[in-house]
Structure formats: structure tokens, C-alpha cells
């Protein structure tokens, strides 16, 4: 098997845009997306070559320690997005519109999206839902703001679902999801996240759309994949669904490093003369 990267030309792209993602889908090049919430991490993820950085409202869980994403405000999201945007050279930065900032009506949604673009310098927004948000998507897109959709297990609706189980296993929900995906594409979304749905359904939706799909717990048939960075790097220790692959065990690495530091402080072996003035 070749160890050459499959996509040397994509790595050379100086700035990933929504057009780049479209070209990647057409060329069959998988899109790599990760979440980011702060300057230091975003700088590392950008320099490592991540195509899309999602300032996700999962910041509510992994940064703020909330049980759900619902408490995030637009001001919180704008703060995190500003930190990420300052860090990046190449990645496309997509920012979640948080719960309660776009569901009211499409005018309110547009005002929220404009704040994210103006105050954070983001490149696109993401919002959750199908048919009920179609008019909103159209309005935001008409204003020149790229929109990413999000279907399947949409965490802002957790109290409606009542559980984080896989969505759209039943035929009626699967058919509705297919229709929603098509409507989001027609409304002007440049991509759509498919979260925690059967792989076969995600593959079908991916084949039926001209825009890219980005999967999380939706199998390998999507045009790209997204993970919450804290999960992928093993920083979250109490969240282990089967769709998460750990690419590092940073919680262990950090614990070891901190214990070494504590040891050296107690022993007075830190700081040394060379580390002093
Ligand atoms: O907020 C988030 O991190 C997300 C991803 C899980 C897709 O929406």
C-alpha cells in the first residue's frame, strides 16, 4: 500500500473555501473536519492540515462542562470563534449558531449569522434541522453567508429525542432525513453534517446530494468526517461512544506530566540553576 498522501494538491491549497470542499467531493477526496474552541489548539489543528475547523456548540460540553449544548449563547460562540479565527492560516472556520438564536424566525437567524461573520470573522455558519429551517437557510445564504446543515442526531433537540441513540433507524425517519437533506441542498447549504445515523442511510444521502456530507457516527460512506477534538485526542475520559477513535491519550499524557511537575516542585528539583535568574 502506498504511504503517499492521496491528496497532495489539497494540502497545497493556501485557504480552504466552500468551493474547495465541493471540488474535494467531486474528486473523491475525503474532507477532514475537527472542532476547535481556542487559539492554541486551533493553531495546531490548522498547521496539521485540518480542512475545516468547526467552532461547535459542543464547547458547551467540553469547554464549559455543561450536560447539553443548550446553554451556549451567541456571545459565547463569538468569543470562541474569535479565538479560533486569530489562529488559522488555511482551514475553513465554520461556527455553530447556538440554540435559541435562529429557530424563532429567519430574520432573527440572519441577525445572528451576521454577528458571527462580522464580530468573529468566521467563514460560514452551521445550524441544525431540516424542513423547519429551510427558509432560514435561504435567507442567510441570500445575504452571502455560507451555511452548513446538520441532520440526524441534532444535539440541540436532545430534550425532544430524549436519548442520544442512533437516529433514523426506522423507515419513516430515514425517508424524512433524505427529504430534508435534499431540501437543505436546494436551499443553498454548501455541506451537511450527518450525525449518528446508519452508515447505509448516510451513504445513500451522500450519493443523492451534489454537496458534501460530513459524517460523525455515520459510517465511511460520507464525503468527510468530523470528530470533537477533545474526544479524538483522548482528553475526554467519560465519553466513549463507538464512533470515536482515539488518536492520542492526552488525558494520560497530561496527568503524567503534571505529576512529574508536582514531584519536581516537592523535591525542589524545579527550578534548577539553569532555569533561574
Ligand atoms: O458542536 C459540535 O461539535 C458539532 C459536531 C459534533 C458536528 O456539531
CATH number reported for the structural domain that contains residue 44 in this entry: 3.20.20.60
Ligand 1 atom having least distance to the Cα of 193 = 7
Structural domain count of the chain:
2
Examine the pLDDT at 5 and tell me if it is beyond 90. no
Q: Do 181 and 66 sit in the same domain of this protein?
A: yes
- Cα distances (Å, whole numbers) of residue 229 to 66, 156, 208: 17, 19, 29
Examine the pLDDT at 42 and tell me if it is beyond 90. yes
**Residue 2: inside a domain, yes or no?**
no
Q: Calculate mean pLDDT across residues 31-46.
A: 98
Q: Do 270 and 223 sit in the same domain of this protein?
A: no
**Residue 35: inside a domain, yes or no?**
yes
**Residue 1: inside a domain, yes or no?**
no
Task: Answer yes or no: is the C-beta of 33 below 6 A from any ligand 1 atom.
Answer: no
**Residue 164: inside a domain, yes or no?**
yes
Q: Do 49 and 93 sit in the same domain of this protein?
A: yes
Q: Do 240 and 262 sit in the same domain of this protein?
A: no
Q: Point out the catalytic residue in the list 135, 195, 200, 249.
A: 195
**Residue 5: inside a domain, yes or no?**
no
Q: Is residue 275 flagged as an active site residue?
A: no
Q: Do 239 and 256 sit in the same domain of this protein?
A: no
**Residue 210: inside a domain, yes or no?**
yes
Q: If you measure from the C-alpha of residue 274 to the centroid of ligand 1, how many angstroms do you get, rounded to a whole number?
A: 45
Average pLDDT of the chain is 96
Q: If you measure from the C-alpha of residue 56 to the centroid of ligand 1, how many angstroms do you get, rounded to a whole number?
A: 5
Q: Do 213 and 253 sit in the same domain of this protein?
A: no
Q: If you measure from the C-alpha of residue 128 to the centroid of ligand 1, how many angstroms do you get, rounded to a whole number?
A: 10
Q: Do 45 and 111 sit in the same domain of this protein?
A: yes
* Residue identifier of the C-alpha nearest atom 8 of ligand 1: 56
* Residue identifier of the C-alpha nearest atom 4 of ligand 1: 56
**What per-residue confidence (pLDDT) applies to 6?**
54
* Residue identifier of the C-alpha nearest atom 2 of ligand 1: 56
In angstroms, the CA 50 to CA 116 distance is 21
Q: Do 123 and 28 sit in the same domain of this protein?
A: yes
**Residue 4: inside a domain, yes or no?**
no
Tell me the residue range of the domain where 128 lies: 10-246
Q: Do 273 and 242 sit in the same domain of this protein?
A: no
Task: Answer yes or no: is the C-beta of 192 below 6 A from any ligand 1 atom.
Answer: no
**pLDDT per residue over 126-185, tens digit each?**
999 999 999 999 999 999 999 999 999 999 999 999 999 999 999 999 999 999 999 999
**What per-residue confidence (pLDDT) applies to 10?**
82
Ligand 1 atom having least distance to the Cα of 35 = 3
Q: Do 237 and 255 sit in the same domain of this protein?
A: no
The share of the chain scoring above pLDDT 70, in percent, equals 97
Q: Do 271 and 236 sit in the same domain of this protein?
A: no
Q: Do 201 and 274 sit in the same domain of this protein?
A: no
**pLDDT per residue over 213-244, tens digit each?**
999 999 999 999 999 999 999 999 988 899 99
The C-alpha cell that represents 82 in the structure block: 474569535
* This prediction's pTM: 0.96
Amino acid at each position: 500500500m502506498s504511504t503517499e498522501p492521496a491528496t497532495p494538491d489539497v494540502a497545497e491549497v493556501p485557504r480552504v473555501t466552500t468551493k474547495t470542499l465541493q471540488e474535494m467531493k467531486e474528486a473523491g477526496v475525503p474532507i477532514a473536519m475537527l472542532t476547535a474552541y481556542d487559539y492554541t489548539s486551533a493553531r495546531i489543528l490548522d498547521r496539521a492540515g485540518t480542512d475545516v475547523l468547526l467552532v461547535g456548540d459542543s464547547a458547551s460540553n467540553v469547554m464549559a462542562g455543561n450536560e447539553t449544548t443548550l446553554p451556549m449563547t451567541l456571545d459565547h460562540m463569538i468569543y470562541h470563534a474569535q479565538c479560533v479565527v486569530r489562529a488559522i492560516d488555511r482551514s475553513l472556520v465554520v461556527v455553530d449558531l447556538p440554540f435559541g438564536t435562529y429557530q424563532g424566525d429567519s430574520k432573527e437567524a440572519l441577525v445572528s449569522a451576521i454577528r458571527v461573520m462580522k464580530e468573529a470573522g468566521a467563514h460560514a455558519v452551521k445550524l441544525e434541522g431540516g424542513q423547519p429551517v429551510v427558509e432560514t437557510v435561504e435567507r442567510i445564504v441570500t445575504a452571502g453567508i455560507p451555511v452548513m446543515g446538520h441532520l440526524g442526531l441534532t444535539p440541540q433537540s436532545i430534550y425532544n429525542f430524549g436519548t442520544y441513540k442512533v437516529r433514523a433507524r426506522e423507515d419513516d425517519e430515514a425517508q424524512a432525513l433524505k427529504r430534508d437533506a435534499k431540501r437543505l441542498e436546494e436551499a443553498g447549504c454548501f455541506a451537511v453534517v450527518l450525525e449518528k445515523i446508519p452508515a447505509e442511510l448516510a451513504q445513500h444521502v451522500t450519493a443523492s446530494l451534489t454537496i458534501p456530507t460530513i459524517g460523525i457516527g455515520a459510517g465511511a460512506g460520507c464525503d468527510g468526517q468530523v470528530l470533537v477534538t477533545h474526544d479524538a485526542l483522548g482528553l475526554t475520559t467519560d465519553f466513549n461512544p463507538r464512533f470515536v477513535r482515539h488518536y492520542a491519550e492526552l488525558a494520560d499524557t497530561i496527568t503524567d506530566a503534571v505529576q512529574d511537575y508536582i514531584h519536581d516542585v516537592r523535591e525542589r528539583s524545579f527550578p534548577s540553576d539553569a532555569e533561574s535568574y
